[in-house]
Amino acid sequence: MSGPASMKRGGPMLWLIVAVAAGLSIPPVMMIVNELTHPVPEINPLFIGGVALLWLLAVWAPAALCIWVPRNVVRVPILLLMLVPYAVWIQHLGEQGFFWSLIRPDMATGEGYFDAQADRDLAAALVACSFYDDPPNCDFPKIDALARAANVNTVGRRDKTFMDLALESGGFPEVVGSLLRAGETAGDARGKAMHYACEQVKPKLARAVLAAGVDPNLREADGTPYMIRAVAMPDGLAAFLDAGADGNAETPDGRTALMEAVGSHQFESVALLLAHGAREDRVAKDGTTLEKLMADVPPDMLKDLPPDVDAFVKRHQPR
């Protein structure tokens, strides 16, 4: 049976396989086009071409087999295999919020997301408050009022919570604070807000979260205190300590905030921890001490330190 004749009698399934293969051929073609139009000096163009060629071969060899072997016992498994990359791409797009962005036009009214009008109004205000806008289109007093009127623990479409919407819009301290003061706890709202503040190094957000009544000794799921995560942002660490965080709290492996501050060369945080009575004699479970950490600090980072930190450094410099 010839190839063209097989195509004519292939039926919808064969045409679907060809269409799927054509879609899978777009990425390698784009790789070649990008290399031709915007070459990257660090990458050998032959490598790009080889990868693209292997990709196309992996796509069209099974498709050719389906053309020459007109049996569903061959075509069905090949079609399912060829659909796997599409499933992966769809999953990645979903994780990146692509499909969520498709319903954003409806968020102007909240329609199709929440049932209660008060919840819809709050969702619409949160989505409109985006850090992509300059200046941000945020009506903070309105959001605060809407948060008090809505049921902030309602979980909407795709399991999104109000805190999710607030953090996706940029995590404005005023907005996150309003939601927490209104009593939002759905989906671990407090942990999400604290994690975002520490991960994105946003001291103002950390202070707003703590001011809303969140426990300064709150820990991540792995048991690490958020206070220790905050050593990378001294202003945020100060907020934790001022709110009553335990300056001697440890990670599950026994490292203290003082150890983390020395290990990351955050000597402003070291000064804060010392001022709040951080102990200097702790030993991590793997035997790490302040002396071992201090040995790895470049000498030029130990210049012009405040007197109390300079004294601390001298106490723990390797003998």
The answer to whether the predicted template modeling score (pTM) of the entire model surpasses 0.85 is no
**Overall average pLDDT of the 238-255 stretch:** 96
Q: Which of 80-84, 142-146, 197-201 has the lowest mean pLDDT?
A: 80-84
Q: Which of 69-83, 100-114, 168-182, 202-216 has the lowest mean pLDDT?
A: 100-114
| Predicted local distance difference test score (pLDDT) of residue 7 | 47
**Helix pair angle (189-199, 203-211), 10° resolution:** 160
Contacts (Cβ under 8 Å, ≥6 apart) of 135: none
Same domain, 295 and 236: yes
Same domain, 146 and 224: no
Closest CA to 234 of 263, 204, 210, 209: 204
Task: Count the helix, strand and coil residues of the chain and give each as a percent rounded to the nearest 5.
Answer: 65, 0, 35
Same domain, 8 and 34: yes
**Overall average pLDDT of the 71-75 stretch:** 86
- Of 194, 214, 234, the residue at which a domain comes to its end is 214
Same domain, 206 and 243: no
Contacts (Cβ under 8 Å, ≥6 apart) of 23: 86
Which helix (H) or strand (E) segment is 83 a member of?
helix 72-95
**Overall average pLDDT of the 244-255 stretch:** 96
165-204: pLDDT as tens digits: 999 889 999 999 999 999 999 999 999 999 999 999 999 9
Provide the CATH number for the domain around residue 266.
1.25.40.20
Question: Which structural domain, as residue segments, surrounds residue 232?
Answer: 219-319
Q: Is the CB of residue 297 less than 8 Å from the CB of residue 267? A: no
Residue found by looking up tokens 């000794």 in the block: 217
Residue 48 pLDDT greater than 70, yes or no: yes
Same domain, 249 and 278: yes
- Of 96, 116, 151, the residue at which a domain comes to its end is 96
Same domain, 87 and 7: yes
Please, which pLDDT band fits residue 105 given cuts at 50, 70 and 90?
very low
Closest CA to 199 of 176, 216, 215, 220: 220
Tokens representing 39? 């070459």
Residue found by looking up tokens 């992966």 in the block: 88
Please, which pLDDT band fits residue 52 given cuts at 50, 70 and 90?
confident
Residue found by looking up tokens 């660090």 in the block: 42
Same domain, 173 and 263: no
**Overall average pLDDT of the 285-292 stretch:** 94
- Of 179, 194, 214, the residue at which a domain comes to its end is 214
23-46: pLDDT as tens digits: 889 888 888 888 788 776 657 788
Q: pLDDT exceeding 70 applies to what percent of the chain?
A: 87
Contacts (Cβ under 8 Å, ≥6 apart) of 69: 75
Residue 60 pLDDT greater than 70, yes or no: yes
Same domain, 22 and 80: yes
Higher pLDDT, 108 or 15: 15
Phi, psi of 248 (to 5 degrees): -105, 10
Coil, helix or strand at residue 154: coil
Same domain, 245 and 282: yes
Same domain, 199 and 244: no
Same domain, 209 and 223: no
Closest CA to 127 of 175, 169, 174, 176: 169
- The tally of domains found in the chain comes to 3
Give the C-alpha separation, 61 to 57, whole Å: 6
Residue 69 pLDDT greater than 80, yes or no: yes
Contacts (Cβ under 8 Å, ≥6 apart) of 92: none
Give the C-alpha separation, 316 to 311, whole Å: 9
In terms of average pLDDT, the best of 68-72, 121-125, 276-280, 297-301 is: 276-280
Same domain, 88 and 169: no
Higher pLDDT, 195 or 1: 195
